[in-house]
Amino acid sequence: MELVTIDDIRAAAGRIKGVAVRTPLVRMGEAWVKPESLQPVGAFKLRGAYNAVASLRPDGVVTHSSGNHGQALAFAAREFGVPCVVVVPEGAPRVKTAAIEGWGAEVVVVPPEQRETTAEKLAAERGLTLVPPYDHRAVIAGQGTVGLEIVEDLPDVEVVLVPVGGGGLASGVGTAVKALRPDVRVIGVEPELAADAVESLAVGRPVEWGAARTFRTIADGLRTALSELTFAHLSRRLDEIVTVSDDEIKAAMGHLARSARLVAEPSGAVTTAALLSGRVATGRTVAVLSGGNVDPELYRQVV
């Protein structure tokens, strides 16, 4: 299987320049936070989606998404003047589906287990190009620009913490960081209620927990399973994966608000939760805050 390279990621950086924000490293105590919540769509997903559309130049696109990738693809499609359809699972946060529609895309709501098959069906019926949320080399390369920027902005970084859902972000970040600084520890973080990646790496193959199990976690963006492509990247380029509880995620959201003045959705706060838990290696650490598209009522409750 052909893995993404540092050259792929550097090419992606050129394509997304001026579109995706080069997010700063924000000091939080003894660590730094990479706030991808500052992107125009509120999450890192813009990097991969825009790179994919810029590379493929399709006549129209479709995807399945819990919300953030859908927003990002809708944004990219609007920039290139092509139609976009986003299939979302029932129960997806309204703040995310409303934003997808706000960027001009059509939203199709289906049961969680039907999201991928529905997107594939729509692609065939309407002649659209399927741009999956993580199972695509161009998407992974775009997400890898996060890692590229971390090493450029903090050359003596020692630990990078990155959320793991479908694995696209962790695949790209791990690729970039390990290519530039092989000695840096890249640690994935996922909710303990959706810890399929931990199990996958333990048994040596992708394991899918299914919606009945993963939908228990508050971290809606991390409920998806690894693909063969992302598993191949993570098995080679992550040093370890740790898990955090939903209570730790909620506490981390509050900590980010008070200590770094940053808004984080649950999925984006998992890395800070791991940092606060003391389960990860110490050193000059960067925690990737993957997104800030949080339901206002939930945010009020936890912050």
Active-site residue flag, 227: no
Two tokens, residue 29: 């105590």
Two tokens, residue 159: 């630990």
Dihedral in degrees, nearest 10, Cα atoms 160, 162, 134, 12? -40
Catalytic residue among 55, 66, 227, 290: 290
The string over 233-249, giving b where at least 16 C-beta atoms fall within 10 Å of a residue's C-beta and e elsewhere, is: bbeebbeebbbbebebb
Active-site residue flag, 45: yes
According to DSSP, the residues that pair with 43 across neighbouring strands are 291
Whole-Å CA distances, 232 to 174, 196, 226, 236:
12, 15, 9, 7
Catalytic residue among 34, 45, 178, 250: 45
Contacts of 100 (CB under 8 A, 6+ apart): 65, 67, 70, 71, 74, 86, 88, 107
Q: Which residues are catalytic?
A: 45, 290
